[in-house]
Structure 1
Amino acid sequence: MPRIAVDERRELLVEAAIRVMARDGVAKATTRSIVAEAGMALAAFHYSFRSKQELLENVIQTITAHTLDLAVERLGAEGGVEAKVRAALDSYWQHLVANPGEHRVTYELTQYALRHPGLATVAKRQYEAYIEGASRLIDSLAQSSDVTWTAPVPVIARYLIAVMDGLTLLWLNEGDDVSARAALELAGEHLISLIKVR
């Protein structure tokens, strides 16, 4: 493999780790299986990450970015605030349906981290990243649409994460698209009801 920059190598290893975890499970995602998936030597992992914990944190950040970037893009589009809320939720849902393995990995990572001493901070950081991402979206929507919220942004962010987490897990277990979409629409309506026009 030609020589590549550290940042690019890290990115390739993180994407390889996500593929391995989605296919084989988090517990089977060894450094050897990850470098093999990436087509790199084992030494590449140790040059790129100080520990498996650092890799797991990067995996979480990357998966979060996969969905967050799409939602941010939707919020920047033309249209009213209600349409933007629905479009952002829809972008998350489309990603879920297209990449269920990635989303299963997030739940598995949480449990894996909580069950292994020394990795508990990974699970804590995972949900901190979710809340931070949701807060950025909520703030961005308020600024781009010149609205305010009827509750504090951190509270709405936690509510949004709890609702989406539950809907995601339910859909991953049931696979009932119609019921999941109806619940998602209800969540969107409730979120919209928390908006106050200036």
Structure 2
Amino acid sequence: MTQDHQPRHYRSRADRRQELLDAAALVVRDDGLSGLTTRAVADRAGVAHGVVHYVFGARRNLVMALLERQARAALPPVLAAADQHDDLHGALDAAVATWIGLVRQEPERFRLLEAMSTTVSGTSGDATLVEAERRLWHDAVSAAIERWTATRGVALTEPVADAAAAVIALVDGLARASWSDPDGAATDRSRALLVRGLASALTTVR
């Protein structure tokens, strides 16, 4: 049997999804977010246009899936770093430092994440997608805080939801700052100050 007449290997929907996400990431890398269309993704993956619609439906679902995959890839090392510490300050500092380290190692990947997130937030009239993107990160950080405090017997002075929102805001700000801080010294000083303040705020009874 010649190569041209070999049967196509069946691909599960999960495998096809990963293939299309790989293609979508390459499209964004090469052509920017404006070039991220379902047809461009299909062309890059070498599949029929209808395959992308079958797997993801609308373009916005594709963007959301890219954000989710980025979160699943980036969060494990951050959470593992926090788990090495039994005090809140140490855990927060290790987690934030690890995240900033990832940003410094792969700045383009995290700029892509930021750009995608901004696109989602700027989608006119799509409140559902905006909320889904926000909830993705908030739920992951909240779950991590709940697990860490439960295993260490630490009681926070603020609700977990508020603590998670504060951590996300802190990380977002420092990540952006690190892009314009080549040696990282200023970002590290800011991290030390902000983490110390947040850890104190979450454990000091007023």
Do Structure 1 and Structure 2 share a fold, with TM-score over 0.5? Answer: yes
- Please tell me whether the aligned partners of residues 38 and 49 of structure 2 are also in contact (alpha carbons under 8 angstroms): yes
The code of the aligned residue for 2:193 comes to L
| Selected match of 2:145 from 125, 138, 144 | 138
Find out whether 1:158 has 2:165 as its counterpart: yes
- Please tell me whether the aligned partners of residues 53 and 119 of structure 1 are also in contact (alpha carbons under 8 angstroms): no
In structure 2, the residue corresponding to 1:149 is in which secondary structure? coil
Find out whether 1:85 has 2:123 as its counterpart: no
Find out whether 1:74 has 2:100 as its counterpart: no
Q: 1: distance between equivalents of 2:62 and 2:139?
A: 20
Q: Which residue of 1 aligns with 2:63?
A: 56
What stretches of structure 1 move > 4 A for 4+ residues in a row? Answer: 173-176
Greater relative CO (CA pairs within 8 A, separation 6+): 1
- The 10-residue stretch of structure 1 (146-155 or 114-123) with the greater mean CA deviation from structure 2: 114-123
Q: TM-score, normalised by structure 2?
A: 0.80
Q: 2: distance between equivalents of 1:80 and 1:36?
A: 50
Q: CA deviation at 1:128?
A: 2.0
| Selected match of 1:190 from 182, 191, 197 | 197
Q: 2: distance between equivalents of 1:88 and 1:131?
A: 15
When residues 85 and 112 of structure 1 are mapped into structure 2, their CA distance, relative to the original with a 3 A threshold, is: closer
Percent sequence identity over aligned pairs? 21
Q: Which residue of 1 aligns with 2:37?
A: 30
Q: CA deviation at 1:31?
A: 2.1
Q: CA deviation at 1:113?
A: 3.1
Question: 1:138-165: per-residue Cα shift (whole Å, max 9, x none)?
Answer: 1122022221112111111111111211
Which 5+ residue runs of structure 1 have no aligned equivalent? none
Q: 1: distance between equivalents of 2:156 and 2:174?
A: 23
When residues 160 and 6 of structure 1 are mapped into structure 2, their CA distance, relative to the original with a 3 A threshold, is: same
Question: Greater CA radius of gyration, 1 or 2?
Answer: 2
Which 5+ residue runs of structure 2 have no aligned equivalent? 1-7
Q: 2: distance between equivalents of 1:118 and 1:146?
A: 43
Q: CA deviation at 1:65?
A: 1.8
In structure 2, the residue corresponding to 1:148 is in which secondary structure? coil
Find out whether 1:43 has 2:50 as its counterpart: yes
Q: Which residue of 2 aligns with 1:8?
A: 15
Q: CA deviation at 1:105?
A: 2.3
When residues 2 and 91 of structure 1 are mapped into structure 2, their CA distance, relative to the original with a 3 A threshold, is: farther
